[in-house]
Amino acid sequence: MANLEEELQTRRTFAIISHPDAGKTTITEQMLLLGGVVREAGTVKGRKGNFAKSDWMEIEQKRGISVTSSVLQFDFGDKRINILDTPGHEDFSEDTYRTLMAVDSVVMVVDSAKGIEPQTKKLFEIVKERHIPIFTFFNKLDRDGRPAIDLVDELESTLGIQAYPMNWPIGSGKILAGLYDLYHKRVELYRPADGAKRFLPLDAAAGDELAAANALQTNPLWDEVKDEVELLQDAGNEFDEDAILRGELTPVFFGSALTNFGVETFLETYMDYAPAPVAKKTVDGTLVEPANPQFSAFVFKIQANMDPNHRDRIAFVRIVSGEFERGMDVTLKRLNKKLRLSNVTQFMADSRENVQNAYPGDIIGIYDTGNFQIGDTIYAGKKALEFEELPTFTPETFMRVRAKNVLKQKSFHKGVTQLVQEGTIQMYTAWDSGEYILGAVGQLQFEVFQFRMENEYNTEVTLEAMGAKTARWVNPDQLDSRMASSRNLLVRDRNGEPVFLFENAFAERWFKDKYPDVELETKL
């Protein structure tokens, strides 16, 4: 048995977040390349089948978007890395928010031409609220972008976090010459001449000039960058590792994921300061430390059909404490049910391998026959514990869903049930007819649902728009089905609880005026 404390100190578990098309998946691919996992990095819109390994779903490859969180594990140096590549599109924010509960730090990728975009800001607020350490990578330096000083200023003013530049760009786009590496006291050349070194040391005795003669010193950008670096050193924030771990200071890096420039330097430095696995909070407010020998973990994601040939269903589990050993017995807290964990995998996107042992910070996949739900706690031993709830969102848009072919009702019901269990779409049934009604945060979720029903369950479906609705849960003891009307549709949620779907705020106010004693609840 390995030493638990030593193993958990080698783990680094983080999510990558960004606005869509900022390059989040591309930088993930370059990390996999650096880790020796792939021979060639793919992109979300890869040609000739060179798709991103983290975008393994067919619809992701066809649409050029990430619509589900991927788990990627590899070794880099002496660290075992667990990357959670999240969807950037706002319609899949719920999946991203839950994924953030399973990580110890976050890498925020920002387009250096566009700066802080709306979805980046939304995701950052969740990270900040939970004091998760965050590292910033300004991407696409190979394209003409905004001045670095403006980007850092916007980062601080818009997000309300202090920034510490670890390196500084020497030009961008066609005149990109390199990076002035403040942390390592060196310059990283963008395209070194044949036989030339990529890294050039700086000479502190010579005022941080290049230690060796180089054409860069005659580049008009050189003096400009030195002035900006001097300004940063005189007037910028001080480097404070404790502030980084509290989520109050973000180290800032520049580079280009597409050309793999600055990514290796970023990853090496990130490994120096990213935290090892941290304690997680239980429902009663106590913290479970990773070094606690009792095995504990929680389910943050469920994915159906990662292998369409086998119609499998996998629960993604973050290990919080103790050591996982294949074949161990655990308790599923919600059902107080004993389970033996024999068929467990670790991931490299769509490929996986059986795991014998795993430690705090690791993400494992448990083949599931329907036992697990998102947010479930599992633990070994007699001491019961339960981790705090994961965030859920009340849907805003609703659709009636039917099978086009009435002879495929079995496949239809199975597909709807399994896809709903993944948590990105919620299912309701009409109170009287039992008809399926789907609720989601955004339209794209319905498109993905329809695509997957046809391609994974061989069942074409029709979706009938019901428009925006406001979902309000009602106490069953106060319910009279005659309260329902065309303006407040009565349905059941997946747990059988009664819910009114109000067509607008006026309809909800009218209901409250007519039934002042009936309590309506919003579930977030």
CATH says 14-66+89-273 is which class? Answer: alpha beta
Q: Where are the domains of the chain?
A: 14-66+89-273, 280-379, 397-521
Q: Which helix (H) or strand (E) holds 429?
A: strand 426-430
Q: Which amino acid is at 347?
A: F
Rounded-to-integer distance, Cα 92 and Cα 425, Å? 10
Q: Which helix (H) or strand (E) holds 416?
A: helix 409-421
Q: State the pLDDT confidence band at 248, using cuts at 50, 70 and 90.
A: very high
pLDDT number for residue 311: 60
Using the 8-state DSSP alphabet, how is residue 342 labeled?
-
Q: State the pLDDT confidence band at 313, using cuts at 50, 70 and 90.
A: confident
Rounded-to-integer distance, Cα 79 and Cα 89, Å? 30
Cβ atoms of 460 and 405 closer than 8 Å: yes
Q: State the pLDDT confidence band at 57, using cuts at 50, 70 and 90.
A: very low
SS3 category, 505: helix
Rounded-to-integer distance, Cα 11 and Cα 274, Å? 10
Q: State the pLDDT confidence band at 276, using cuts at 50, 70 and 90.
A: very high
Q: CB neighbours (10 Å) of residue 77?
A: 12
Cα atoms in the Cβ-side hemisphere of radius 13 Å centred on 453: 29
pLDDT number for residue 369: 82
Reported as a single tens digit per residue, the pLDDT across 62-80 is 444 333 446 888 899 999 9
pLDDT number for residue 39: 59
Please provide the average confidence, as pLDDT, over all residues in the chain: 86
Using the 8-state DSSP alphabet, how is residue 256 labeled?
B
User: Average pLDDT for residues 384-401, to the nearest whole number?
Assistant: 85
Residue with the bigger pLDDT between 444 and 260: it is 260
SS3 category, 493: coil
Cβ atoms of 374 and 97 closer than 8 Å: no
Reported as a single tens digit per residue, the pLDDT across 36-50 is 876 555 444 343 444
Retrieve residue 226's tokens: 């030195």
Q: State the pLDDT confidence band at 218, using cuts at 50, 70 and 90.
A: confident
User: Average pLDDT for residues 197-203, to the nearest whole number?
Assistant: 88
Residue with the bigger pLDDT between 353 and 300: it is 300
Q: Which range among 70-84, 93-107, 167-181, 380-394 has the greatest average pLDDT?
A: 167-181
Percent of the chain with pLDDT over 70: 87
Rounded-to-integer distance, Cα 106 and Cα 121, Å? 14
pLDDT number for residue 84: 86
User: Average pLDDT for residues 317-333, to the nearest whole number?
Assistant: 96
pLDDT of 394 strictly over 50: yes
User: Average pLDDT for residues 209-219, to the nearest whole number?
Assistant: 80
User: Average pLDDT for residues 304-308, to the nearest whole number?
Assistant: 64
Cβ atoms of 271 and 77 closer than 8 Å: yes
Give Cβ neighbours of residue 299 (< 8 Å, ≥ 6 apart): 315, 316, 317, 372, 373, 374, 375, 376, 377, 378
Main-chain dihedrals φ then ψ at residue 111, nearest 5 degrees = -70, 120
pLDDT number for residue 87: 62
Give binding residues as ranges.
18-25, 85-89, 139-142
Rounded-to-integer distance, Cα 279 and Cα 66, Å? 29
Rounded-to-integer distance, Cα 258 and Cα 43, Å? 8
pLDDT of 207 strictly over 80: no
- The alpha carbons of the chain give a radius of gyration, in whole angstroms, of 25
pLDDT number for residue 64: 40
β-strands 162-165, 249-254 pairing: parallel
Q: CB neighbours (10 Å) of residue 31?
A: 27
pLDDT of 226 strictly over 80: yes
pLDDT number for residue 50: 43
Architecture of domain 280-379: Beta Barrel (2.40)
Cβ atoms of 141 and 114 closer than 8 Å: no
User: Average pLDDT for residues 346-357, to the nearest whole number?
Assistant: 73
Q: For 63-73, b where at least 16 C-beta lie within 10 A, e where not — what string?
A: bbbbbbbbbbb
Reported as a single tens digit per residue, the pLDDT across 81-110 is 999 876 644 545 567 778 888 999 999 999
Cβ atoms of 505 and 516 closer than 8 Å: no
Rounded-to-integer distance, Cα 159 and Cα 192, Å? 36
Give binding residues for GTP as ranges.
18-25, 85-89, 139-142
pLDDT of 472 strictly over 50: yes
Place of tokens 């890096």: 253
Q: Which range among 80-89, 373-382, 448-457 has the greatest average pLDDT?
A: 373-382
* Paired strand residues for 312: none
Architecture of domain 397-521: 2-Layer Sandwich (3.30)
pLDDT number for residue 189: 93
